[in-house]
Amino acid sequence: MSRFSAPIAEQIWDMKYRLKDADGTPRDQSIEDTWRRIARALSEVEKEPAKWEDAFYGALEDFKFLPAGRITAGAGTARKVTLFNCFVMGTIPDSMAGIFDMLKEAALTMQQGGGIGYDFSTIRPRGSDVLGVAADASGPLSFMDVWDAMCRTIMSAGSRRGAMMATMRCDHPDVLDFITAKADAARLRMFNMSVLITDDFMEAVKADAPWELKFDGKVYHTMDARDLWNQIMQGTYDVAEPGVIFIDRINAANNLNYCEDIAATNPCGEQPLPPYGACLLGSINMARLVKDPFDAAASLDAEAMQELVAVAVRMMDNVVDASQFPLEAQAREAHAKRRIGLGVTGLADALLMVGLRYGSDEAARQTEEWLKAIARAAYLASVDLAKEKGAFPLFDAEPYLASGTMQAMDEDVRAAIRENGIRNALLTSIAPTGTISLYAGNVSSGIEPVFAYAYTRKVLQKDGSRTEEEVVDYAVQMWRDKMGDAPLPDYFTNAQTLAPGDHVKMQAAAQKWIDSSISKTINCPEDIDFESFKDVYMQAYETGCKGCTTYRPNDVTGSVLSVSEKSDESPEVDHGADVIYMADPLERPKSLDGATYKLKWPDSEHAIYLTVNDIVIGGHRRPFEVFINSKNMEHFAWTVALTRMISAVFRRGGDVSFVVEELKAVFDPRGGAWMEGKYIPSILAAIGGVLERHLISIDFIEGEGMGLKVDPQAEAMGVDSRPKGKACASCGQYTLMMVEGCMTCSSCGHSKCS
């Protein structure tokens, strides 16, 4: 009898978390084997490993406690991998040697799969003097381009897709360039970006006061604070970035503000960390803790929750000792403070099960009450661990208890910490759980609302055909099982209909008892006006949030996963956004229209000439074949091979724009070159750029970094193939949704954040 409640859950386990040999032979024969592997690995550091292995297995069983994917996939495998998800790298020195030392450290961390954060505020602004050199500084944005190229290199080498966060202070002279950098759809695509907002700046915005942009004591420019705020807001209104991080609030609340300063977060923002800070993640599945769901007496099982939290804290503390680290500095930091990030998932489902509408005042109060209970249980469990194993090495009772977070904690917890110390400096965090939530039966993700009650997932079979299966939210399926065909109650709500203010209300309620931070997306309707949009961020600041991330679908960001609760369409007719792939290649007409482009790579004696010929189908042009020629004989073999491979792909039809992205992601270890003001990492990437310009010129794709505009093959067959947004990089389906600050595919669970 399978423990999985839906096919997608088992498929995600098999793809992402199931231990297999190099040839693909499964070593975890069942999900029970996976739970046992994790439990055994994390109990090995205990004095009584057999006792704790059983306790850990019990917590994992039936998806009650969900360690983050890195732990689930890596624990007990004997592989040299880190079990930590979140890293903030060291402070970037304002020197060329120091900058590239930091780049090397970032590459080593990302090679092991860690998401990293960096504060680029420490690099001098563009145009400032470089001491000892007769030159002007190129500024932090130019070095961010190099970091972006490094991340693409790691990705193209076969490692996990990289994720990075870049932050910059709101008073840095280059902050305006930082704000607008991602208006160029092809630039800094591997970064999430956030502006570090200070309390002084927010007061200046409210007072419409002037604001100085300065570096190293020198004022470079003065502008109206409100104008700068509006430019930040316009950027996120248009392209969903940059986000904002209320950095003074983070540092004031930090339990460790007596021994560290924070200036950056991990890629999704839930872990503000000091230089070389690291944190691991795991989530309590609240949907599994509700007793008597949908009955008048429905409630969260407080006793079961307390016991589960205690075991989860012990497991996560053991991860600190069981994990490897990409850098020694990260290991030292983790062992000195023993941070863990215990969060929740399934909150929205749990609220539905007890009859509360997500976003209501009652739901916010219940959320605050539940998360306070979890925080209390976590802190008391960590105190018990300190009695047994010792407090974290940098523990100092009085300054620790004087922090903003600890001042709000109940007195009995404070007294226990004062007397016994505490094992883990910080304990709670709400991280992205998109993939593990699907794996756990499609429970609602993190503290997000239910995204959709149900949707149809198209699964590509080995023979090229597609089958359809319904993916149903966990609480909705439970309602169906219990109530049959009875309509959903009025208090059911989802992300499609929830007001932005209700999102903020729920985030603020949760933040009160989360000592780190929260990864959450505030979904805004496309037609929200700019003033109302700005009010969302001001509400987030005024209600105590530590940051704010919004998503407004539009022509730039794409409109994600369209869902319909009811459909009158016949199931046999596919009007979706799936691209049609042809089984047989297209036949070549006798003549084709095309264009030839000259590519001159710096320091190369001979130019490369690219000819792209197009075929017309249904009145639209699409690429059909490519010819690459050069007098440089060193290029002969690979240009011929590339010509044949690209042409073969083009002749198969469908959305071939991925060829551009694959070529642009290739990086030459000997170094790239600057061309037309952009860093191009290799000749192949330059060829990809030329192909992209051609596809734009024939209206096959809409613009740089964007996918298929019209598939003429599908249009000629009478199928609407225009995507409802961007395609998933893993499975190619147009089922992306913005959840917890990260684009997540609801069809395969792919996300660059988890």
745 is catalytic: no
Q: Which of 258, 284, 152, 251 is nearest to 547 (CA)?
A: 251
Among 251, 254, 255, 266, the one annotated catalytic: 266
Residues 199 and 311 in one domain: no
Residues 383 and 471 in one domain: yes
Residues 611 and 701 in one domain: yes
Residues 240 and 381 in one domain: no
- For residue 545, the one-letter residue type is C
Cis peptide before 242 (omega within 30 of 0): yes
- The 10 Å CB-count burial string (b at 16+, else e) for 516-555 is bbbbbbbbbeeebeeeebbbbbbbbbeeebbbbbbbbbee
CATH for 383 = 3.20.70.20
662 is catalytic: no
3-state DSSP assignment of residue 595: strand
Residues 121 and 233 in one domain: yes
| Count of structural domains, the chain | 3
Asked if 545 contacts 248 with a C-beta cutoff of 8 angstroms, the reply is no
Among 86, 151, 170, 268, the one annotated catalytic: 268
3-state DSSP assignment of residue 107: helix
Residue 736 in any domain: the answer is no
pTM of the model: 0.81
DSSP secondary structure code for residue 394 in this structure? T
Euclidean distance between CA atoms 346 and 433, whole angstroms:
9
Residue-range definition of the domain harbouring residue 168? 90-247
Residue 273 in any domain: the answer is no
Residue that is last in its domain, among 191, 222, 247: 247
270 is catalytic: yes
Residue 139 in any domain: the answer is yes
Q: CB count, 10 Å around CB of 399?
A: 14
CB neighbour list of residue 469: distance below 8 Å, 6 or more residues apart: 7, 8, 456, 457, 459
pLDDT value for 721: 41
Q: What ranges in 323-451 are assigned the alpha helix state H?
A: 328-337, 347-353, 361-389, 397-401, 404-407, 411-420, 434-439
Q: Which pair of structure tokens corresponds to residue 463?
A: 């023979």
Residue 260 in any domain: the answer is no
Residue that is last in its domain, among 522, 549, 579: 522
3-state DSSP assignment of residue 382: helix
End-to-end CA distance of the chain: 28
Cis peptide before 589 (omega within 30 of 0): no
Among 53, 270, 448, 692, the one annotated catalytic: 270
3-state DSSP assignment of residue 32: helix
Residue 527 in any domain: the answer is no
Residues 294 and 321 in one domain: yes
Residues 421 and 491 in one domain: yes
| 318 alpha carbon, distance to own chain's centre | 25
Residues 164 and 69 in one domain: no
Residue 270 in any domain: the answer is no
3-state DSSP assignment of residue 578: coil
Q: What is the mean pLDDT of each run of 10 residues along the chain (754 residues)?
A: 83 92 92 98 96 98 96 92 91 92 91 88 92 77 90 59 87 97 84 96 98 96 98 94 96 97 95 95 97 96 97 98 95 97 98 98 98 98 98 98 95 98 98 91 95 80 68 94 94 91 98 96 93 97 96 73 42 34 62 89 81 84 88 80 87 77 76 76 87 88 61 41 54 68 71 63
Residue 159 in any domain: the answer is yes
Residues 474 and 342 in one domain: yes
pLDDT value for 747: 66
Residue 337 in any domain: the answer is yes
Residues 70 and 99 in one domain: no
| Residue 572 burial class via C-beta count within 10 angstroms: exposed 0-12, middle 13-18, buried 19 and up | exposed
Residues 146 and 56 in one domain: no
| Largest Cα span, the chain | 87
Residues 517 and 603 in one domain: no
